[in-house]
Amino acid sequence: MSAAHRPPAPLILTCGEPAGIGPELAPKALAADVPFVWMGDPRHLPAGTHWAEVSTPADPAPAGALPVLRHDFPAPNTPGRPDLTNAQAVADVIARAAAMAMAGQAGGICTLPISKQALKQGAGFAFPGHTEYLADLAGGVDVVMMLASTSVTPPCRVVPATIHIPLEDVPRTLTPALLERTIRITHAGLIRDFGIPAPRIAVAGLNPHAGEGGTMGWQETDWIAPLCERLREQGLAVSGPHPADTMFHAPARARWDAAIACYHDQGLIPIKTLDFAGGVNVTLGLPFVRTSPDHGTAFDIAGSGAADPSSTIAALRMGWDMARKRAAA
Ligand SMILES: NC(=O)c1ccc[n+]([C@@H]2O[C@H](COP(=O)([O-])OP(=O)(O)OC[C@H]3O[C@@H](n4cnc5c(N)ncnc54)[C@H](O)[C@@H]3O)[C@@H](O)[C@H]2O)c1
Ligand SMILES: N[C@H](C(=O)O)[C@H](O)COP(=O)(O)O
């Protein structure tokens, strides 16, 4: 079988914060019915979990068992109460999985939620989250964070140009270079990983009513609209800047394949409102596939068994689909 048609190696599902809902999502994720192994400390799995240790993602595991790539942690987990002595191991699991994906030992990674606060306090984690950490692990590549729906029509795929920064920093961080880079990485990702040959990209204005012709903010008239026009002249199907509050209802969504938001909540509120259970976080621009559920550690319900696995299942299925596309390319 030629390399072009060899299926990718299974995905690695990283354990995330052991005190969050990750450990109870891991066995539930088997319902995704795609090849993956869970990387973490089996002591953190719910009692009664049917698991089997494997040495590599490609190793077979007994039917119905959660394949475990073991990674020992210093401390057991108490649902809802992160133990900061485990923080470094949380980060190490992500790095180990990324290295295996870059080496071709895994078809990609799907990351269960981390607590950014616990990582920062417990391990001096220097990154806002997985997105920036994985970009650094991949050699400092430019990436974007996309939240993509899987169960609404028309789909909702949103990429915020600025991510985990205080709102007051958004206007000075949102530069023409950053917005153009975000648009181009998104455009390439829609082609490569979503199989959309001619992506349509809608850009949200920063200000209410997209600046109302310059009477409610200057960025749109000063540089966002000229940037969109220049990219259109270069052949990219880029529209906007649009008033953000009328971009996300169904008829509006039908006019684009991805929406570029100016800041985190401008984009994540609509997608998580429309499809919280089916939303998937995708990092575009990495040399390997990375998806993640669209939620966090849910400390308020951790350990209760109430965690909905739908987003993790959607993330694993999307990651596997992307891995197969890349293997066949
Ligand atoms: N990709 C990630 O690793 C990621 C994503 C978002 C937030 N976080 C982190 O998670 C922590 C908590 O963040 P938050 O409270 O803002 O968001 P959250 O998503 O953890 O929780 C928000 C609300 O949604 C509920 N919820 C979340 N996932 C659920 C699920 N699968 N099933 C049922 N209910 C669910 C929670 O119970 C809570 O009421 C923070 O440290 C944050 O940084 C991590
Ligand atoms: N901003 C995302 C969300 O709210 O779902 C999430 O925090 C992304 O974090 P990572 O970079 O750790 O995937």
DSSP 81-108: B--GGGHHHHHHHHHHHHHHHHTTSSSE
* Cis peptide upstream of residue 10 (ω within 30 degrees of 0): no
Q: What is the mean pLDDT of the chain?
A: 97
Q: Whose CA is nearest to atom 8 of ligand 1?
A: 296
Of 13, 14, 24, 36, which Cα lies nearest the Cα of 77? 24
Q: What is the pLDDT of residue 251?
A: 98
Return the ligand 1 atom nearest residue 25 CA.
31
Cα 200 from Cα 254, distance rounded (Å): 10
pLDDT number for residue 96: 98
Domain range list for the chain: 1-140+286-329, 152-274
Please tell me the residue having the least CA distance from ligand 2 atom 7.
129
Q: Do the domains 152-274 and 1-140+286-329 match in fold? A: yes
Residues with Cβ < 8 Å from 310, sequence gap 6 or more? 277, 278
> What stretches of 243-308 adopt beta strand conformation (E)?
258-261, 280-284, 289-293
pLDDT at position 272 is 98
Contacts made by residues 98-103, CB under 8 angstroms, sequence distance 24+: 98/134, 98/137, 98/138, 98/288, 98/290, 99/137, 100/12, 100/57, 101/12, 101/288, 101/289, 101/290, 102/138, 102/287, 102/288
Q: What pLDDT, in 10s, does the model give residues 274-316?
A: 999 999 999 999 999 999 999 999 999 999 999 999 999 999 9
Nearest partner of 319 among 280, 287, 272, 286, judged by Cα: 280
Residue 186: the pLDDT is 98
Q: What is the mean pLDDT of residues 30-52?
A: 98
Amino acid in position 285: G
- Would you say 290 is a known binding-site residue? yes
Whether 325 has a pLDDT exceeding 70, the answer reads yes
Å from CA of 129 to ligand 2 middle:
6
The architecture of the domain spanning 152-274 is: 3-Layer(aba) Sandwich (3.40)
Nearest residue (CA) to ligand 1, atom 41 = 115
Residue 154: cis peptide before it, omega within 30 degrees of 0: yes
What are the backbone angles phi and psi of residue 26, rounded to the nearest 5°? -55, -55
ipTM: 0.97
| Mean pLDDT along residues 255-272 | 98
Query: What separation in Å is there between the alpha carbon of 304 and the centre of ligand 1?
Result: 14
Using a pLDDT cut of 70, give the percent of the chain over it.
98
Q: What pLDDT, on a 0 to 100 scale, did the predictor assign at position 177?
A: 98
Instruction: Report pLDDT digits (tens) over 48-57.
Output: 999 999 999 9
Does 207 carry a binding-site annotation? no
- Residue 7 makes CB contacts below 8 A (sequence gap 6+) with 107, 324, 327
Quick one: pLDDT at residue 2? Answer: 56
Q: How many CB atoms lie within 10 A of CB 29?
A: 22
Are 16 and 302 within 8 A, CB to CB? no
Residue 131 counted as an annotated binding residue: yes
State how far Cα 102 lies from the chain centre: 17
Check: CB of residue 53 under 8 Å from CB of residue 70.
Answer: yes
Q: What is the pLDDT of residue 55?
A: 97
The predicted structure's pLDDT at residue 4:
55
| Predicted structure pTM score | 0.97
Question: How many Å lie between the centroid of ligand 1 and the Cα of residue 294?
Answer: 8
Backbone φ and ψ for 96, nearest 5 degrees, come out as -65, -40
CATH architecture of the region 1-140+286-329? 3-Layer(aba) Sandwich (3.40)
Looking at all shown ligands, the one closest to residue 131's CA atom is: 2
Q: Is pLDDT of 3 > 90? A: no
Model pLDDT for residues 193-228, shown as the tens digit of each residue: 999 999 999 999 999 999 999 999 999 999 999 999
pLDDT reading at 176 higher than 80: yes
Residue 269 buriedness (CB in 10 A; 0-12 / 13-18 / 19+): middle
Residue type, 258: A
CA of 108 to the centre of ligand 2 (A): 18
DSSP H or E stretch at residue 242: strand 237-242
Rounded-to-10 torsion of CA 126, 128, 131, 133? 10
Nearest CA residue ID for atom 22, ligand 1: 298
pLDDT in tens, 104-159: 999 999 999 999 999 999 999 999 999 999 999 999 999 999 999 999 999 999 99
SS3 category, 126: coil
